[in-house]
Structure 1
Amino acid sequence: MATLYLIRHGQASFGAEDYDKLSELGCRQASAVGRYLAAHGIYLDAAYSGNLLRQRETTELALASQPQAVPHQIDSRFNEVRNDEQIEHLVPRIVESNPAIRALMEKGLSQSKDYQKVIEAVFNYWVSPQCDAAGIQSWEDYAGGVRDALGDLVREQGSGKTVAVFTSGGTIATAVSQVLGLGGEHAYKFYEPVFNCSITQLFYSGDKISLSYFNDRSFLQLMGRETDENLVTYR
């Protein structure tokens, strides 16, 4: 039996010119998850991440607390869902039949909660059979990439290993829905609630992967109390 941790990146810089980097709070979250792993004797044999900056920064900060150097492999199949691409190409179709989303787009997506409502509508349309938009990554290609990346990791690492994948909410949601045998229409249910730097634990043996727990952030709550800081965020 081997253990695989799916860890979401720390808080990114929503509203900043460059979203794809950790905020100051995101850096502290990433360091906290690293201290948590080390303090509880979770020593990693390997780490993986996508190539997004926020994922790589989280990996580096978390691995700094490991007692020995941990090999870090970058695999773009662990990147986030391409939200900006989907908004650009799919929102014009969605607003034709969804006045609520039209109103939000006209208002502007300056608030995180409004952005999330649009992401929900876009994601659920993207995974549906009705979506046939050309020129963007399809759900089938994205989900297949996540499935293949996990399969390759399991085969590369083999039994008895402890491995972490530092990735994003959409990737975690996709992987969990696949492990549970659910289709894309269920993936968003796991996407929206994923906390920054939360941990999802999987076990694998051979080609079989099982879910142990999902989206744990209790350690961030406890560590935040020690420093009188709220380390728990969604966005």
Structure 2
Amino acid sequence: MATIYLVRHGQASFGADDYDKLSELGVRQAEVAGHFFRDQAIQFDAAYSGDLLRQRETAQGVLASQPGDVPHHVDPRFNEVRNDEHLEYLVPHVLAKNPEFQTLLDNLKSSKDYQKVIDAVFNYWVSPECDEPAIQSWADYSGGVRDALRDVISTQGSGKTVAIFTSGGTIATIVAMVLGLGGEHTYRFYEPVYNCSISQLFYSGSKVSLSNFNDASFLQVLGTQLGEQLISYR
């Protein structure tokens, strides 16, 4: 059975001047994920990632434990949802619908508070109401993700084992698509995604099915064995 492993990037540098790089914990998560694949004798025929640094660094950390060289293809269609762009252009629309949203914006103190803002903005973005011309539309973004996944399947063909190193929003979009769900259901798969978690797809021809979602048990088990805390959401 041909398999695709969707691997979320390790913890990024939230709160730093440059968010788009792995934190010290994120580097370690990628390394441990690589050890997990190695110890399970999972060998990749190919790897893909978006062009974001945190995605590419995670790919490098995982692939370092593979027994041989793995071709790594960079495809920006696997980049994360453009949250910064959404905050800039869509917050006024969300405020117009819900003035109480301003209270949350005025009291952002943690990554959890930030996630609540992303929740509101994301769900407005995917709704039929959103027609903001200054940003990439949900239809264009999700269509690009769909086409990128199809291209991976078409290019790699049957019997292959492929890794895609990407981000929470992209993983959520793929999972919702595979399950036949629309944009209004996508965020529920976005928020709970662990850093460096693994979701697994099987494919045969054009048929794609979900085997598991957001598995971080290997980080819990190996972290306990190593005396390290390896679990994080953000």
Q: Shorter-chain TM-score: what band?
A: over 0.9
Confirm or deny: 8 A CA contact 1:198 1:217 kept in the other structure. yes
The CA distance in 1 between the partners of 2:211 and 2:106, in whole Å, is: 42
- 2:69 is aligned to 69
Residues 99-178 of structure 1: pairs in structure 2 closer than 5 A: 99-107=99-107, 109-178=108-177
SS in 1 for 2:201: strand
Q: Deviations over 1:211-235 (max 9, x none)?
A: 0000000000001101211101100
Q: How many residues align?
A: 234
Deviations 1:86-143 (A, max 9, x none): 0000001111232442112122x34101100000000000000011111101000000
> Would you say the 8 A contact 1:79–1:171 is kept in 2?
yes
**Conservation of the 8 A alpha-carbon contact between 1:79 and 1:167:** yes
Q: Which residue of 1 aligns with 2:33?
A: 33
Give the CA deviation at 1:152.
0.3
Q: Determine whether 1:2 maps to 2:38.
A: no
What does residue 24 of structure 1 align with? Answer: 24
Structure 2 residue identity aligned to 1:159 = S
The normalised TM-score by structure 1 is 0.98
- The amino acid of 1:2's aligned partner reads A
Question: What amino acid maps onto 1:6 in structure 2?
Answer: L
What value does the CA root-mean-square deviation take over the aligned residues? 0.8
In structure 1, how many angstroms separate the alpha carbons of the residues matched to 2:101 and 2:220? 34
| Contact residue 94 and residue 122 of structure 1 kept, 8 A | yes
CA distance in 2, matches of 1:37, 1:153: 20
Q: Deviations over 1:126-173 (max 9, x none)?
A: 000011111101000000000000000000000000000000000000
4+ runs deviating over 4 angstroms: none
Question: In the alignment, which residue of structure 2 is the partner of 1:85?
Answer: 85
1:15 and 1:110 in contact (8 A); partners too:
no
SS for the counterpart of 2:172 is helix
Tell me, what secondary structure is at the counterpart of 1:175?
A: helix
| Matching residue of 2:199 | 200
- Cα distance in 2 for partners of 1:142, 1:97 equals 24
Equivalent position of 2:213 in the other structure: 214
Contact persistence 1:5–1:200 (CA under 8 A): yes
Letter of the 1:185 partner, please give it: E
Q: For residues 72 and 99 of structure 2, what CA distance do their matches in structure 1 show?
A: 45
AA matched with 1:102: Q
Give the AA of the match of 2:225. Answer: E
Q: Distance in 2 between matches of 1:80 and 1:88?
A: 16
Distance 2:112 2:214 in 1: 20
Point out the more displaced range, 92-101 or 160-169.
92-101
Matched to 1:222, the amino acid is: V
| Unmatched runs of 5 consecutive residues or more in structure 2 | none
TM-score, structure 2 as length reference: 0.98
Indicate yes or no: 2:46 matched with 1:46: yes
Does structure 2 conserve the Cα–Cα contact (< 8 Å) formed by 1:159 and 1:205? yes
Unmatched runs of 5 consecutive residues or more in structure 1: none
